[in-house]
Structure 1
Amino acid sequence: MSYLKSIAIASAFFLAGLGHASAAQQEITVYKSPWCGCCTAWSEHMRENGFKVTEIKREDMDTIKRDLGVPEQLESCHTAMIDGYVVEGHVPADDVKKLLTERPKAKGLSVPGMPMGSPGMEQGNQKDRYTVIIYGDEGMGAFARH
Protein backbone atom coordinates (compact mmCIF):
# COMPACT_ATOMS: atom_id res chain seq x y z
CA MET A 1 0.00 0.00 0.00
CA SER A 2 1.34 3.42 -0.89
CA TYR A 3 2.28 5.95 1.76
CA LEU A 4 -0.33 8.47 0.54
CA LYS A 5 -3.07 5.83 0.49
CA SER A 6 -2.18 4.88 4.09
CA ILE A 7 -2.42 8.52 5.18
CA ALA A 8 -5.77 8.93 3.38
CA ILE A 9 -7.20 5.84 5.10
CA ALA A 10 -5.93 6.93 8.52
CA SER A 11 -7.35 10.43 7.98
CA ALA A 12 -10.74 9.01 7.03
CA PHE A 13 -10.88 6.97 10.25
CA PHE A 14 -9.77 9.98 12.30
CA LEU A 15 -12.37 12.28 10.75
CA ALA A 16 -15.11 9.65 11.13
CA GLY A 17 -14.22 9.40 14.81
CA LEU A 18 -14.37 13.17 15.17
CA GLY A 19 -17.85 13.28 13.65
CA HIS A 20 -19.10 10.66 16.10
CA ALA A 21 -17.47 12.42 19.05
CA SER A 22 -18.94 15.80 18.19
CA ALA A 23 -22.45 14.33 17.94
CA ALA A 24 -21.97 12.55 21.24
CA GLN A 25 -20.74 15.69 23.03
CA GLN A 26 -24.08 17.43 22.53
CA GLU A 27 -25.71 18.99 25.56
CA ILE A 28 -29.21 17.74 26.34
CA THR A 29 -31.59 19.27 28.86
CA VAL A 30 -33.97 16.81 30.51
CA TYR A 31 -37.13 18.00 32.25
CA LYS A 32 -38.31 15.40 34.76
CA SER A 33 -40.33 14.90 37.87
CA PRO A 34 -38.22 15.09 41.04
CA TRP A 35 -39.44 11.60 42.00
CA CYS A 36 -39.10 9.67 38.75
CA GLY A 37 -36.41 6.98 38.87
CA CYS A 38 -36.83 5.82 35.27
CA CYS A 39 -36.19 9.39 34.05
CA THR A 40 -32.97 9.46 36.06
CA ALA A 41 -32.02 6.07 34.55
CA TRP A 42 -32.63 7.46 31.02
CA SER A 43 -30.40 10.46 31.81
CA GLU A 44 -27.70 8.02 32.90
CA HIS A 45 -28.15 6.07 29.62
CA MET A 46 -27.56 9.32 27.73
CA ARG A 47 -24.45 10.13 29.82
CA GLU A 48 -23.08 6.63 29.20
CA ASN A 49 -23.46 7.33 25.48
CA GLY A 50 -21.45 10.54 25.63
CA PHE A 51 -24.10 13.23 26.05
CA LYS A 52 -23.71 16.06 28.55
CA VAL A 53 -26.98 15.89 30.51
CA THR A 54 -28.54 18.67 32.55
CA GLU A 55 -31.60 17.61 34.55
CA ILE A 56 -34.23 20.16 35.50
CA LYS A 57 -36.67 18.82 38.08
CA ARG A 58 -40.20 20.08 37.57
CA GLU A 59 -43.58 19.20 38.97
CA ASP A 60 -45.44 20.82 36.09
CA MET A 61 -44.49 18.38 33.32
CA ASP A 62 -47.80 18.89 31.48
CA THR A 63 -46.93 22.58 31.07
CA ILE A 64 -43.45 21.73 29.71
CA LYS A 65 -44.95 19.29 27.19
CA ARG A 66 -47.58 21.82 26.06
CA ASP A 67 -44.99 24.63 25.78
CA LEU A 68 -42.73 22.42 23.66
CA GLY A 69 -45.59 21.17 21.47
CA VAL A 70 -45.52 17.48 22.37
CA PRO A 71 -48.74 15.90 21.02
CA GLU A 72 -50.75 14.32 23.81
CA GLN A 73 -50.71 10.87 22.17
CA LEU A 74 -46.89 10.94 22.13
CA GLU A 75 -46.37 11.84 25.80
CA SER A 76 -44.17 9.90 28.18
CA CYS A 77 -42.70 10.74 31.58
CA HIS A 78 -39.77 13.06 30.75
CA THR A 79 -39.15 15.62 28.03
CA ALA A 80 -35.75 16.69 26.73
CA MET A 81 -34.39 19.38 24.40
CA ILE A 82 -31.32 18.97 22.25
CA ASP A 83 -30.13 21.23 19.45
CA GLY A 84 -33.63 22.48 18.63
CA TYR A 85 -35.31 19.05 18.82
CA VAL A 86 -37.67 17.67 21.46
CA VAL A 87 -36.97 14.14 22.72
CA GLU A 88 -39.97 12.72 24.56
CA GLY A 89 -39.62 9.62 26.69
CA HIS A 90 -37.29 6.65 26.55
CA VAL A 91 -35.68 7.24 23.13
CA PRO A 92 -32.42 5.28 22.73
CA ALA A 93 -29.23 7.37 22.54
CA ASP A 94 -28.37 5.92 19.12
CA ASP A 95 -31.66 7.22 17.73
CA VAL A 96 -30.91 10.68 19.14
CA LYS A 97 -27.46 10.54 17.50
CA LYS A 98 -29.08 9.54 14.19
CA LEU A 99 -31.53 12.47 14.51
CA LEU A 100 -28.65 14.90 15.07
CA THR A 101 -26.67 13.48 12.16
CA GLU A 102 -29.52 13.36 9.64
CA ARG A 103 -31.18 16.62 10.81
CA PRO A 104 -34.65 15.86 9.38
CA LYS A 105 -37.28 18.58 9.23
CA ALA A 106 -39.16 17.58 12.38
CA LYS A 107 -40.07 18.80 15.83
CA GLY A 108 -38.63 15.74 17.53
CA LEU A 109 -38.73 12.08 18.53
CA SER A 110 -40.95 10.24 20.98
CA VAL A 111 -41.33 6.86 22.59
CA PRO A 112 -44.92 7.14 23.84
CA GLY A 113 -45.67 5.58 27.19
CA MET A 114 -42.99 3.67 29.04
CA PRO A 115 -42.19 0.40 27.21
CA MET A 116 -40.33 -2.18 29.26
CA GLY A 117 -36.78 -2.74 28.05
CA SER A 118 -36.40 0.75 26.57
CA PRO A 119 -33.48 2.80 27.99
CA GLY A 120 -34.29 3.59 31.61
CA MET A 121 -37.07 0.98 31.71
CA GLU A 122 -34.91 -2.13 31.89
CA GLN A 123 -36.29 -4.76 34.24
CA GLY A 124 -34.88 -8.25 33.98
CA ASN A 125 -35.34 -9.85 30.58
CA GLN A 126 -38.68 -8.22 29.81
CA LYS A 127 -38.51 -6.29 26.53
CA ASP A 128 -41.55 -4.82 24.86
CA ARG A 129 -41.41 -4.04 21.16
CA TYR A 130 -41.73 -0.30 20.58
CA THR A 131 -41.46 2.32 17.88
CA VAL A 132 -39.62 5.63 18.05
CA ILE A 133 -41.93 8.19 16.44
CA ILE A 134 -40.67 11.21 14.51
CA TYR A 135 -43.15 14.08 14.44
CA GLY A 136 -43.55 17.63 13.27
CA ASP A 137 -45.73 19.98 11.26
CA GLU A 138 -45.98 17.45 8.43
CA GLY A 139 -47.31 14.66 10.65
CA MET A 140 -45.71 11.66 12.30
CA GLY A 141 -44.22 8.31 11.40
CA ALA A 142 -41.80 5.58 12.43
CA PHE A 143 -38.18 6.66 12.92
CA ALA A 144 -36.92 3.36 14.40
CA ARG A 145 -38.30 0.08 15.71
CA HIS A 146 -36.92 -1.81 18.69
Structure 2
Amino acid sequence: MKNNALALGLMAALGFSTTALAGGAAQSIHVYKSPTCGCCSDWIDHLEENGFRVNATDTNNMGRIKANAGLIAGLGSCHTAFVGDYVIEGHVPADDIKRLISEAPQAKGLSVPGMPIGSPGMEMGDRKDHYNVILFNEAGQTRIFSRYN
Protein backbone atom coordinates (compact mmCIF):
# COMPACT_ATOMS: atom_id res chain seq x y z
CA MET A 1 0.00 0.00 0.00
CA LYS A 2 2.83 2.38 0.83
CA ASN A 3 4.30 1.92 -2.67
CA ASN A 4 0.88 2.52 -4.28
CA ALA A 5 0.42 5.73 -2.28
CA LEU A 6 3.92 6.85 -3.24
CA ALA A 7 3.28 6.07 -6.91
CA LEU A 8 -0.07 7.90 -6.82
CA GLY A 9 1.59 10.92 -5.20
CA LEU A 10 4.37 10.97 -7.80
CA MET A 11 1.91 10.58 -10.65
CA ALA A 12 -0.30 13.37 -9.29
CA ALA A 13 2.72 15.65 -8.80
CA LEU A 14 3.72 15.06 -12.42
CA GLY A 15 0.17 15.71 -13.61
CA PHE A 16 -0.66 12.09 -14.51
CA SER A 17 -4.22 10.82 -14.37
CA THR A 18 -5.00 8.61 -11.38
CA THR A 19 -8.71 8.18 -12.14
CA ALA A 20 -9.96 4.70 -11.29
CA LEU A 21 -12.54 2.74 -13.28
CA ALA A 22 -15.91 3.25 -11.59
CA GLY A 23 -19.39 2.10 -12.46
CA GLY A 24 -18.57 1.32 -16.08
CA ALA A 25 -17.64 4.92 -16.84
CA ALA A 26 -15.04 5.51 -19.52
CA GLN A 27 -11.56 5.04 -18.10
CA SER A 28 -9.23 8.04 -18.27
CA ILE A 29 -5.75 7.48 -19.64
CA HIS A 30 -3.02 10.11 -19.98
CA VAL A 31 -0.66 9.57 -22.91
CA TYR A 32 2.73 11.26 -23.28
CA LYS A 33 4.10 11.24 -26.83
CA SER A 34 6.37 13.01 -29.27
CA PRO A 35 4.55 15.79 -31.14
CA THR A 36 5.64 14.30 -34.48
CA CYS A 37 4.77 10.65 -33.90
CA GLY A 38 1.94 9.41 -36.13
CA CYS A 39 1.78 5.90 -34.68
CA CYS A 40 1.21 7.37 -31.21
CA SER A 41 -1.79 9.27 -32.56
CA ASP A 42 -3.07 6.07 -34.19
CA TRP A 43 -2.75 4.25 -30.83
CA ILE A 44 -4.73 7.05 -29.17
CA ASP A 45 -7.45 6.56 -31.81
CA HIS A 46 -7.46 2.84 -30.94
CA LEU A 47 -7.94 3.66 -27.25
CA GLU A 48 -10.78 6.09 -27.96
CA GLU A 49 -12.48 3.57 -30.27
CA ASN A 50 -12.36 1.14 -27.34
CA GLY A 51 -14.01 3.44 -24.80
CA PHE A 52 -11.08 5.24 -23.15
CA ARG A 53 -11.08 8.98 -22.47
CA VAL A 54 -7.63 10.10 -23.61
CA ASN A 55 -5.70 13.13 -22.46
CA ALA A 56 -2.60 13.45 -24.66
CA THR A 57 0.46 15.55 -23.91
CA ASP A 58 3.07 16.23 -26.57
CA THR A 59 6.61 16.42 -25.23
CA ASN A 60 10.12 16.42 -26.60
CA ASN A 61 11.41 14.92 -23.35
CA MET A 62 10.09 11.36 -23.38
CA GLY A 63 13.24 10.15 -21.63
CA ARG A 64 12.30 12.09 -18.50
CA ILE A 65 8.72 10.79 -18.60
CA LYS A 66 9.95 7.19 -18.87
CA ALA A 67 12.55 7.66 -16.11
CA ASN A 68 10.03 9.28 -13.75
CA ALA A 69 7.62 6.42 -14.46
CA GLY A 70 10.28 3.90 -13.40
CA LEU A 71 10.22 2.14 -16.75
CA ILE A 72 12.48 -0.91 -16.81
CA ALA A 73 15.29 -0.99 -19.40
CA GLY A 74 14.41 -3.05 -22.46
CA LEU A 75 10.67 -2.42 -22.23
CA GLY A 76 10.64 0.96 -23.95
CA SER A 77 8.63 2.08 -26.94
CA CYS A 78 7.61 5.43 -28.37
CA HIS A 79 4.86 6.59 -25.98
CA THR A 80 4.14 6.22 -22.27
CA ALA A 81 0.70 6.36 -20.68
CA PHE A 82 -0.76 6.26 -17.20
CA VAL A 83 -4.08 4.71 -16.25
CA GLY A 84 -5.09 4.33 -12.63
CA ASP A 85 -1.98 3.16 -10.77
CA TYR A 86 -0.39 1.63 -13.88
CA VAL A 87 2.18 2.58 -16.52
CA ILE A 88 1.33 1.55 -20.09
CA GLU A 89 4.34 1.56 -22.42
CA GLY A 90 4.01 1.30 -26.17
CA HIS A 91 1.36 -0.23 -28.41
CA VAL A 92 -0.56 -2.21 -25.78
CA PRO A 93 -3.99 -3.32 -27.05
CA ALA A 94 -6.96 -1.68 -25.29
CA ASP A 95 -8.37 -5.07 -24.25
CA ASP A 96 -5.16 -5.82 -22.34
CA ILE A 97 -5.39 -2.49 -20.54
CA LYS A 98 -9.00 -3.27 -19.62
CA ARG A 99 -7.95 -6.71 -18.38
CA LEU A 100 -5.14 -5.15 -16.31
CA ILE A 101 -7.59 -2.75 -14.67
CA SER A 102 -10.13 -5.51 -14.07
CA GLU A 103 -7.67 -8.03 -12.60
CA ALA A 104 -5.68 -5.35 -10.71
CA PRO A 105 -2.48 -7.38 -10.24
CA GLN A 106 0.37 -6.14 -8.05
CA ALA A 107 2.40 -4.68 -10.91
CA LYS A 108 3.91 -1.49 -12.25
CA GLY A 109 2.30 -1.87 -15.66
CA LEU A 110 2.27 -3.30 -19.16
CA SER A 111 4.62 -2.89 -22.11
CA VAL A 112 4.83 -3.81 -25.75
CA PRO A 113 8.56 -3.24 -26.31
CA GLY A 114 9.59 -1.67 -29.59
CA MET A 115 7.04 -1.04 -32.28
CA PRO A 116 5.81 -4.39 -33.67
CA ILE A 117 3.95 -4.24 -36.97
CA GLY A 118 0.30 -5.16 -36.51
CA SER A 119 0.03 -3.92 -32.93
CA PRO A 120 -2.56 -1.15 -32.36
CA GLY A 121 -1.33 2.00 -34.07
CA MET A 122 1.26 0.06 -36.09
CA GLU A 123 -1.04 -1.52 -38.66
CA MET A 124 0.52 -2.05 -42.10
CA GLY A 125 -1.83 -3.98 -44.32
CA ASP A 126 -2.05 -7.68 -43.56
CA ARG A 127 1.41 -7.91 -41.96
CA LYS A 128 1.36 -8.87 -38.30
CA ASP A 129 4.55 -9.48 -36.34
CA HIS A 130 4.50 -11.79 -33.35
CA TYR A 131 4.66 -9.78 -30.13
CA ASN A 132 4.06 -10.13 -26.41
CA VAL A 133 2.47 -7.80 -23.90
CA ILE A 134 4.74 -7.82 -20.86
CA LEU A 135 3.58 -7.31 -17.26
CA PHE A 136 6.34 -5.79 -15.10
CA ASN A 137 6.71 -4.88 -11.45
CA GLU A 138 8.71 -2.47 -9.28
CA ALA A 139 11.44 -5.08 -8.72
CA GLY A 140 12.14 -5.40 -12.45
CA GLN A 141 10.48 -8.80 -12.78
CA THR A 142 8.51 -9.50 -15.95
CA ARG A 143 6.09 -12.08 -17.30
CA ILE A 144 4.08 -12.48 -20.45
CA PHE A 145 0.57 -11.06 -20.00
CA SER A 146 -0.67 -11.74 -23.57
CA ARG A 147 0.71 -13.17 -26.80
CA TYR A 148 -0.15 -12.04 -30.32
CA ASN A 149 0.74 -14.01 -33.47
Task: Give me the TM-score of the superposition, normalised by structure 2.
Answer: 0.82
Q: Which residue does the alignment assign to 1:57? A: 58
Whole-Å Cα distance in 1 between the matches of residues 114 and 73 of structure 2?
Answer: 11
Report how far residue 20 of structure 1 moved.
9.9
The answer to whether residue 110 in structure 2 is matched with residue 141 in structure 1 is: no
Q: Among all aligned residue pairs of Structure 1 and Structure 2, give the percentage whose two residues are the same amino acid.
A: 53
Corresponding residue pairs, total: 127
Query: Residues 115, 21 of structure 1: CA spacing in aligned structure 2 closer, same or farther, 3 A cutoff?
Result: farther
Report how far residue 21 of structure 1 moved.
7.2
Could you say what secondary structure the match of 1:31 adopts?
strand
Q: Which residue does the alignment assign to 1:48? A: 49
For structure 1, list consecutive stretches of 5 or more residues without a partner in the other structure: 1-18
Could you say what secondary structure the match of 2:74 adopts?
helix
Query: Residues 101, 67 of structure 1: CA spacing in aligned structure 2 closer, same or farther, 3 A cutoff?
Result: same
Report how far residue 137 of structure 1 moved.
2.6
Q: Which residue does the alignment assign to 1:3? A: none
Report how far residue 100 of structure 1 moved.
0.3
Moved over 6 A (4+): none
Larger radius of gyration: 1
The amino acid that maps onto 1:111 is V
Could you say what secondary structure the match of 1:35 adopts?
coil
RMSD in angstroms over aligned alpha carbons?
1.5
Greater share of helix: 1
Q: Which residue does the alignment assign to 2:33? A: 32
Q: Which residue does the alignment assign to 1:11? A: none
